[in-house]
Amino acid sequence: MTIYNPTQCPPASEIDIPALHAKYLRERDRRIKKNHNDQYIPASGKWAEIYEVDPYTPVAPRDPVTGETDVVILGAGYCGMMVAAQLKKAGIDNFYNVDHGGNFGGTWYWNRYPGIQCDNDSLVYMPLLEETGYMPSKKFADGYEIHDHCQMIADTFGLRENALFHTLIKNLKWDPEINRWHVGTNRGDDIKARFVVLAMGPLNKPKLPGIPGIDKFKGKIFHTARWDYDYTGGGWRNPVLDKLGDKKVAIIGTGATAIQVVPYLAKYAGHTYVVQRTPSTIDARNNRPIDPEWYAAQKPGWQEERIRNFHHAAMERLAPHEPDLVEDIWTEISRNVNAELEAEGWPDISMEEYAARREVMDYRVMERLRARCDIIKDPVTAEALKPYYRYLCKRPASNDDFYPAFNQDNVQLIDVAETQGLEQLTENGFIHQGVEYECDCIIMASGYEVTNDLDRRWGIDTIEGREGISIYDYWRDGFQTFQGMMAHNFPNMFFTGFTQAGANASNSKTFIDQGFHIGYVASQAINRGIAVVEPSQDAQDAYIKHLRSVAVDTSLFANECTPSYFNNEGDQKKKRSIFGEPWGEGYYAFEDMLGAWRSEGELTGLMLTPESTLEPAE
Ligand code: NDP
């Protein structure tokens, strides 16, 4: 059944779309900083602790690992775990998950800030629910529930004995003498791995805002990815921040993380300054428990079907009569457009007309979201919190307690749009419009490295393939891959995530399928006595040529957005986007293409070197 409530969004006839569009562009222009991504400070040097220290689990001493293994997977978050589970299913048991954290979970290990929940439908986002037999407690699961489910996945697939935690890979070097990768770490390991899988996820390294005077502040500073409960009081599963009652706290940022944190600061801190440069879109949460009876009645394959439906609604197009199973802010525009088409008897419209209808619906939905700010009593604050850009220029959020917090006397918005960020930090606080505001603690909700400089983003000193070629040089001007997962000059290495592959609206689904494909190639090589697999230059060139011939150009959309990590902070010259170069024919078309390639069983396009020789052969 299609759900559509036309009274929720103002009709198009009441919206001056050209005027709004012009306002969107003005809002973008006044925010674009000349130094784009360089405005941020890496969590290294003086700030290394913000990334390197694990406040949650003591580091256990261990001897360096120096033996051989079939696979080293960099990462034990969702991506690394999905790859590991798929390797097991493909019959490969001999591997390591190497991770900086003290347990499985990645994002869901590190992020323990108060209020943390997934903003995506848990029945779509939490992977392998049918295989682990797990029912999420509610539509938007708490961070610790997702973390606990990660442990369940690790136990279900027997991943624990393969994990090397509290370990950072620092060097990866291909050794043609032995056809193995040397994997060097900060724990003195030198593992010789037949295959290496980079599964670090897109947002793993906290970054700091480059506010002048950031070194001067004498109070407490921490990043949301390393929440300091010793300082705030409370704990991850019980965030009663009872040590903040006499504190003045500033939180910098109003992205998806800060939206979840602010209601807790509002509740517990003596005073909270919310420093905002660009507002988020924040819908009603409508969180609700999962009904066990409904859950038990689902037929095998239900999660796959729900993920596919979510992907259609969130990133492609719902088919005529296709219901919206997820029904939240991520799927609203598709849902509403389909409801219009249903009311008109499903006219046969072109892609162009469909896109034009989406564009109008975008303005209508954004008007609805902006109107949500009007519950704030102070009209200046309400107006400053209204987001003026297209839906999906920034990651959408939903929260019931964020806007009401601004009706409390102890919560104050510091709107720094005009100055493109907070002007200055001082010993005692911060300066805004020439006035010093004292505070005890500054919480950086300032996001993660997404710079084009992959070495800064990944934190691995060297990745050297054949003849010492560095991946950082090789990919300096953009990705060069085969199937988005392998690259010429980098034998037996696999890449994951947003490269030149299909991208599902649910990252965990992309990781499951990439893990499956990697498991297939690696197990074929092992079972067929092939020492080295590497895409030929010709196959890689042909792949990239086709990828670019079917690419969907989203640059106009991205260029009109307010700056953020979604569009390289408004830097139109950068070659690489956080989303890579996704397969333009759609996610499931990409999966079908890979499926057909696997069915051929020939590993076409890969140069295969048998165990007995060291020279590659076509
Ligand atoms: P973001 O990068 O989205 O937000 C960073 C915030 O810091 C922005 O509001 C930014 O403003 C602000 N900022 C940066 N520099 C300054 C400055 N100098 N002065 C003032 N403000 C500044 O990081 P988040 O941690 O919020 O989110 C990152 C991603 O993590 C999300 O997009 C999402 O993918 C994921 N996430 C997922 C959640 C989930 O539920 N699944 C929950 C939380 C996060 P501006 O916008 O102007 O740049």
Confidence of residue 4 (pLDDT cuts 50, 70, 90): low
Residue 223 Cα, ligand 1 centroid: separation in angstroms?
Answer: 11
Q: How far is the CA of 290 from the centre of ligand 1 (A)?
A: 29
Residues for the chain: how many in total?
Answer: 618
Q: How far is the CA of 68 from the centre of ligand 1 (A)?
A: 40
What per-residue confidence (pLDDT) applies to 452?
75
Structure tokens at 95: 């591997």
pLDDT value of residue 617: 45
List the one residue out of 559, 357, 513 whose CA is nearest residue 349: 357
Q: What is the pLDDT of residue 573?
A: 86
Torsion angles phi and psi, residue 151, rounded to 5:
-65, -35
Joined together, the tokens standing for residue 282 give 């924040």
CB atoms inside a 10 Å sphere around CB 613: 11
> Ligand 1 atom closest to Cα of 564?
48
Question: Using a 6 Å cutoff on CB, does residue 278 contact ligand 1?
Answer: yes
Report pLDDT for 482. 98
In short, whether 197's Cβ falls inside 6 Å of ligand 1 is no
In sequence order, the 6+-apart residues with CB closer than 8 A to the CB of 125 are 118, 506, 508
Give nearest CA residue, ligand 1 atom 48.
564
Q: Give the pLDDT confidence of 267-306 residue by residue, as tens digits.
A: 999 999 999 999 999 999 999 999 999 999 999 999 999 9
Q: Whose CA is nearest to atom 46 of ligand 1?
A: 278
Query: What pLDDT is stored for residue 309 in this prediction?
Result: 98
pLDDT tens-digit series, residues 236-273: 999 999 999 999 999 999 999 999 999 999 999 999 99
> Confidence class of residue 574 from pLDDT cuts 50, 70 and 90?
confident
Q: Supply the mean pLDDT for the chain.
A: 95
Ligand 1 pocket residue status of 421, Cβ below 6 Å: yes
Residues 244, 407: Cα–Cα separation, whole Å? 19
202: its two tokens? 């897109």
Residues forming a β-bridge with 414: 275
Residue pair 310/505 in contact by the 8 Å Cβ criterion = yes
Q: Please state the atom number of ligand 1 nearest to the C-alpha of residue 565.
A: 2
What the block records as the tokens of 51 is 């990334």
Choice from 257, 278, 423, 451 to test ligand 1 binding pocket (greatest atom count within 8 A of CB)? 257
Residue 254 CB–ligand 1 contact under 6 Å: yes
Our answer on whether the CB atom of 255 is closer than 6 Å to any ligand 1 atom is yes
Percentage of residues in the chain having pLDDT higher than 70: 98
Local structure of residue 300 (DSSP, 8 states): T
In this prediction, residue 587 carries a pLDDT of 98
pLDDT in tens, 465-497: 999 999 999 999 899 999 999 999 999 999 999
Instruction: Give the strand pairing for 441-444 and 248-252.
Output: parallel
The pLDDT-based confidence of 2 (bands split at 50, 70, 90) is very low
The two tokens of residue 599 are: 């069915």
Contact 522, 90 (CB under 8 A): yes
Residue 577: predicted pLDDT? 86
Could you give the domains of the chain? 6-30+286-366 (no CATH), 36-44+207-281+387-444 (3.50.50.60), 68-104+159-205+452-610 (3.50.50.60)
Q: Verify whether ligand 1 is closer than 6 Å to residue 122 (CB atom).
A: no
Which tens digit of pLDDT belongs to each residue from 182-215?
Answer: 999 999 999 999 999 999 988 989 999 999 999 9
The Cα 346–Cα 517 span in angstroms is 38
Q: State pLDDT tens for residues 347-363.
A: 999 999 999 999 999 99
Ligand 1 pocket, 422 CB below 6 A? yes
Tell me which residue has its CA closest to atom 18 in ligand 1: 421
Indicate which residue's Cα is closest to atom 2 of ligand 1: 447
Rounded to an integer, the average pLDDT of 440-455 is 92
Determine the pLDDT at residue 71: 98
pTM score, two decimals?
Answer: 0.96
Residues forming beta bridges with residue 117, ordered by sequence position: 142
Who contacts 582 (Cβ-Cβ below 8 Å, separation ≥6)?
Answer: 498, 500, 501, 502, 503
Predicted pLDDT of residue 12: 96
Identify the three-state secondary structure at position 490.
Answer: strand
137 phi/psi in degrees, rounded to 5: -75, -30
Pocket test for ligand 1, best of 37, 146, 277, 430 (most atoms within 8 A of CB): 277
Tell me the pLDDT band of 613, cut-offs 50, 70 and 90: low
Please tell me what DSSP assigns to residue 493.
E
Q: Which two tokens stand for residue 586?
A: 């759609």
**Secondary structure in 3-state letters for 527-582:** HCCEEEEEECHHHHHHHHHHHHHCCCCCHHHHHCCCCCHHHHHHCCCCCCCCCCCC
E strand or H helix that includes residue 151 = helix 143-156
Q: Which atom of ligand 1 is nearest to the CA of 447?
A: 23
Q: Give the tens place of pLDDT for each residue, 377-432.
A: 999 999 999 999 999 999 999 999 999 999 999 999 999 999 999 999 999 999 99
pLDDT band at 1; cut points 50, 70, 90: very low
How far, in Å, is the centroid of ligand 1 from the Cα of 62? Answer: 36
Q: Count CB neighbours of 5 within 10 A.
A: 8
Give the number of the atom of ligand 1 that is nearest the alpha carbon of residue 259.
26
Diameter of the chain by CA atoms? Answer: 76
* Strand duo 429-432 + 411-415: pairing: unpaired
